[in-house]
Amino acid sequence: MHTIAAPTATPNSPLRSHASGLLLASGIALLALGLGRWLPLIGGPVFGIVLGILVRNLLRPGEVYAAGLRFAGKQVLQWSIIALGFGLSLTQVAKTGLESLAVTLVTMSMAFLAAWLLGRLLGVHDKLKILIGVGTAICGGSAIAAVTPIIKPDEHDTAFAISTIFLFNLVAVLLFPLLGHLMHLSDLGFGLWAGTAINDTSSVVAAGYSYSKTAGDYATIVKLTRATLIVPICLALAFAVAWREKRRAGQTAAGSDFRLSRIFPWFILWFLVASAVRTAGIVPAALLPAIHAGAEFLIIVALTAIGLSADLRKMAATGVRPILLGLGVWAAVAVSSLLVQMAIGQL
């Protein structure tokens, strides 16, 4: 097993530590971008995440890369989504958000129902059911991180849930575009399917833009609309936990860690600001292709970093029951999204 070496970073040089991971992710992303141009049916985002996984599990990059990879997987991804906002008018964003809301609410309800039913059948305890249900219903690892301080699961439960959700994100990125072409889904139909049935924003973006630019734009807006629902979900959980603890122990300390500012996806507001700038015509039209190309590369960098952080051994060690639960919930969401679209004639 080879290990990628890197310049030694001192504790007082966070910039240098970030640079190592960012350079690694960017170098692989450039290769993924070229491969995506060569095989557009697969696309750069998918190549990025796959190459990242291969490098992570074959060459084992050292810990010095970790800070930069975490930064790229979260911050760079958010920057890429904000950049995408410059190519979308507020009218388009509002129209898409309203059009997708019914499908989003149905798929969310199916996710929670499936998590509860399958969790009982598989003997998965309540907190892990909530983590997998919320992660599948809303926004993957971000949703899991948001509800963790509210329900206070064991650390290994959080790790199980995140690993399970991430596993099906990878599957979705590879499988959804192929299935979409086999089913002859329209760009908007696929965008709505990806935006409502794939967990993490990164995977939605990867699958959407692998299908087409139109599908990617549509899927991104649908997913951002869906992500805002983490706020009412977390509020409901916080009140439920506090009420239960009050009944049990006569106090509400269980809800004391809840902070709305901590769980709100603020980058969505900046996405709307970018869209407002686009709507107002402040950005010259000649610059829009370059902005979109920059956003595409940032997406590939972020996805490559996520792949470089994926430890397949840890994912395999999560056990069978959480994986079966995640599979069942994910399948319920994916199928219900298609069925609702068929029922309302949006496919």
Domain chopping of the chain, boundaries: 19-344
> 79 and 305 in contact (C-beta within 8 Å)?
no
The encoded tokens of residue 260 equal 């709305």
* Closest alpha carbon to 165 in 325, 2, 275: 325
Q: Up-side HSE of residue 41: CA atoms within 13 Å toward CB?
A: 6
* Closest alpha carbon to 226 in 79, 105, 59, 78: 105
Region label for 253, one of left (φ > 0), alpha (ψ between -120 and 50) or beta (otherwise): alpha
pLDDT band at residue 264 under the 50/70/90 scheme: low
* Closest alpha carbon to 18 in 5, 28, 7, 32: 7
pLDDT band at residue 347 under the 50/70/90 scheme: low
Average pLDDT over residues 218-224: 88
Neighbours of 284 (CB within 10 A): 7
Q: What is the DSSP letter of 184?
A: T
In a 3-state reduction of DSSP, which class is residue 104?
helix
The encoded tokens of residue 273 equal 């600001």
Where is mean pLDDT largest: 21-35, 144-158, 260-274, 309-323? 21-35
Residue 346 has pLDDT above 90, yes or no: no
CA distance 187 to 75: 28
Residue 142 has a pLDDT of 66
Average pLDDT over residues 139-147: 72
Which amino acid, one-letter code, is at 97? Answer: G
Residue 187 has a pLDDT of 94
Total-model pTM? 0.69
Least confident window among 30-34, 115-119, 131-135: 131-135
Average pLDDT over residues 227-247: 74
Average pLDDT over residues 277-286: 83
More confident residue, 247 or 292: 292
Residue 263 has pLDDT above 60, yes or no: no
Mean of the per-residue pLDDT values of the chain: 80
Burial of residue 281 (number of CB atoms within 10 Å: 0-12, 13-18, 19+): exposed
